[in-house]
Amino acid sequence: MNIVKTLLKSVREFKKLSIITPLIIIAEVILEMFLPFITGRLIDEGVEVGNMQMIIRYGVILFVMALLSLAAGAGAAITGAKASTGFAKNLRRDMYHKVQDYSFANIDKFSTSSLVTRLTTDVTNVQNAYQIVLRMAVRSPIMLVFALIMSFSVNPRVAWVFLLAIPILGTCLPLLLTRAHPIFKRIFRRYDKLNLVVQENLRGIRVVKSFVREGHEKEKFDDISESIYQDFSKAEKIMAFTGPLMSFCIYLIIILVSWLSAKFIIGGTMTTGDLTTLISYAGNILMGLMFISVSIMMMVISRPSMERITEILTEEPTIKDPENPVTAVKDGSVSFKNVTLMYSRKAEKPVLDNISIDIASGETVGIIGGTGSSKSSLVQLIPRLYDVIEGSVQVGGVDVRDYHIETLRNEVAMVLQKNVLFSGTIKENLRWGNEHATDEELVRVCKLAQADGFIQSFPDGYDTYIEQGGANVSGGQKQRLCIARALLKKPKILILDDSTSAVDTRTDALIRKAMLEEIPNTTKIIIAQRTSSVQDADKIIVLDEGRVSAVGSHEELLKTSAIYQEVYYSQNREEAFGSAEE
C-alpha cells in the first residue's frame, strides 16, 4: 500500500484525467449493458411477432446507444492514455530529480545500469499497468455485477449457471498468477544486468576492440539475452493458460444455458429473445472476469517495477545539507583528524585507517602511493563526496559536514581520476566550472592548464565540438581541459587526482609552474604516479594500504621512506645508475 501511495504522488496534474477516465467508462459500460436487453426486446416484440414499427423503434434505440457507447469508449481511451503517459512523465522526472540529489554512496548502492533500467523499462511497465487499471478497474466489476443483475431479472432459473464460472476461475487464475510473479521479478534483475553489459561495452567499445574482446562481450550479451528470453517464455507459457481457461468457461456456460433454455422455451416459459439476451450477458460476464484477471496480471507484472521505482523515490541521500549550514569557506586549509573510511559497513578492512594530516592554506601537497592505496578515497572526502565513518575532515577550520554542500564544492575543485567531458563545444564544457565566465577568463585558465595551444590549433578553436565522452580529443588534451574547467571555479582548494597522467613530462612541469605563479594562494593537492610531478611540493604524503606511511619533502623522503625511494629510483633508473648502459 505504501508503494502505491508513493507512486501516486507523481500523478499530480493528471489527477483530473485519472478520475474522469473511470467515470466515462462507467457511462460506457452502462450503455453497453443495456444493449443485450434491448436486443432481446427487439427479437420478442419485433421480429417474433413481425411488428415492423417495433423493429425500427428498438433498432434506432440500439443504434444510438451503440454509438454513444462507442464514443464513450474512444473518449476513455484518450483520457486514459493521457493520464497514464502523463503519470509516467512525472514519475520519470521525480526519479531523475531524486537521483541528482544522490551522493556517490547512493549511486554505488544502485549501480548506474540499474538506475537506467528503473528510469526506462520499469516506468513503462508502471505506465501500462496504470492505464489498464484506470480502464479496467471499474469496468470489470460494474460489467460483472450489471450483467448478473440483468440476467437474473431476465430469467433467474437459467442465470444461476453463470455463478459456476466464479469458483472455476477463482481457483485457477490465482494459481497461475502466483507462479508467474517470481519469474517476472527475476526478469527485471536480468534487465539490469543486460543494461550493465550494454552500457559497459558501449562506453568501453574502444577498449573492447583493442583487447579483441568482442567475442567474449558478444557471448556475455547473448547469455543474458537468452536467459531473459527463457524466463519470458516460461512466464508467458503460464500466462497462456488463461486464454483457453476462459474459452472453456464460456463454452461450458453457453452449452448449459442453451440446454436449460431449450427446455424452458419448449415448455413455453421463456422466449427466444431472453435466450439471446442471456447468451450476450454470458459473454459480458466472462469478459468482466477476463478484464479482472488481466488487471491482476498487469499488477503482477508491474509489481516488481513498482517496488524498484519506489526504492529510488524513497532512498535517502546519504549526504545532505546540515540544518544551519556554514556558507563561506574561510581559507584553503585542510585537516584530517583520525579519519576512518569504509565504503560498506560490512567490509572487513577500512579503506582509510585512522588518517591524520594537516595541510595549510596555499600549500602544494603531493600524494604518492600504489594503485588501491586509497589516494582517491582520501581526497574525495575534501569536497564531501563520501562521509567518513570516524574522525573528521575540516576545510578552513570547519567540519565539511557543517558546510552548505554547494559552497564547499564550489571552493573545492576536483579533477576526478575518471573525469568526463560532455557532448558540446569546448566553451560549453569549460563553463561547467562557471556559467558566467567571460571568453577572456576561459583563455586565461586554458593557458594555465596548457590547453590554449592545442585548442587554438583546432579549426573551430574554442567552439570545437566535443563528442560524447570526449572521444575526439586525446587523453592528455582531455585532462588539460578538465583542469581548465576546474580552475575556472577559482577554488580555494584544487585537487588533481592523477590528472596529468596522459600529459608529457614537459607539459606537466609547465602546468605546475603556471599554477605556482598564477594561483599561489590556492591549496593544491596533487595525486601522481610520477615522483617528478610532486617533487617540488611543500610536502609529499606517501600512502600505503590506506595508511600514511610517510610525510615529508622530496629530499626528506628520499632518505627516510623506502616506498618513496623505490618509486623514485624505478622511475629515474638512468640517473641513478648513470649512463653505464650506453
Ligand X SMILES: Nc1ncnc2c1ncn2[C@@H]1O[C@H](COP(=O)(O)OP(=O)(O)O)[C@@H](O)[C@H]1O
Residues that bind ligand X (CB under 6 A): 108, 343, 351, 369, 371-377
CB of 357 to ligand X, least distance (A): 15
CB of 315 to ligand X, least distance (A): 16
Closer to ligand X at the Cβ: 529 or 571?
529
Residue 210 binds which entry of ligand X, Mg ion, none, CB below 5-8 Å type-dependent: none
Residue among 361, 333, 324, 355 nearest 342 (CA): 355
State how far the Cα of 91 lies from the Cα of 284, in Å rounded to an integer: 35
- Output the nine-digit C-alpha cell for 538: 611543500
Alpha helices in 241-348 (DSSP H): 242-267, 272-314
Residue 377 binds which entry of Mg ion, ligand X, none, CB below 5-8 Å type-dependent: ligand X
State how far the Cα of 540 lies from the Cα of 531, in Å rounded to an integer: 10
CB of 349 to ligand X, least distance (A): 9
Q: Residue 236's CB: how many other CB atoms inside 10 A?
A: 11
CB of 496 to Mg ion, least distance (A): 11
State how far the Cα of 356 lies from the Cα of 67, in Å rounded to an integer: 80
Judged by the rule CB under 5 A, the positions of this chain that interact with Mg ion are 376, 417
Closer to Mg ion at the Cβ: 396 or 546?
546
| Cα four-point dihedral sign 471, 472, 476, 478 | negative
Closer to ligand X at the Cβ: 165 or 543?
543
Through-space distance between the first and last CA atoms of the chain, rounded to whole angstroms: 79
At 488, is the secondary structure helix, strand, or coil?
A: coil
Residue 450 binds which entry of Mg ion, ligand X, none, CB below 5-8 Å type-dependent: none
Residue 100 binds which entry of ligand X, Mg ion, none, CB below 5-8 Å type-dependent: none
CB of 344 to ligand X, least distance (A): 7
At 342, is the secondary structure helix, strand, or coil?
A: coil
Closer to Mg ion at the Cβ: 75 or 370?
370
- Output the nine-digit C-alpha cell for 431: 563553463
Q: Which residue is nearest to Mg ion (CB)?
A: 376
CB of 213 to ligand X, least distance (A): 22
Closer to ligand X at the Cβ: 2 or 371?
371
CB of 114 to ligand X, least distance (A): 15
To the nearest 10 degrees (0 to 180), the angle between helices 439-448 and 475-487 is 120
- DSSP secondary structure code for residue 326 in this structure: B
Residue 374 binds which entry of Mg ion, ligand X, none, CB below 5-8 Å type-dependent: ligand X
Residue 373 binds which entry of Mg ion, ligand X, none, CB below 5-8 Å type-dependent: ligand X
Closer to ligand X at the Cβ: 265 or 416?
416
Closer to Mg ion at the Cβ: 381 or 446?
381
State how far the Cα of 40 lies from the Cα of 46, in Å rounded to an integer: 10
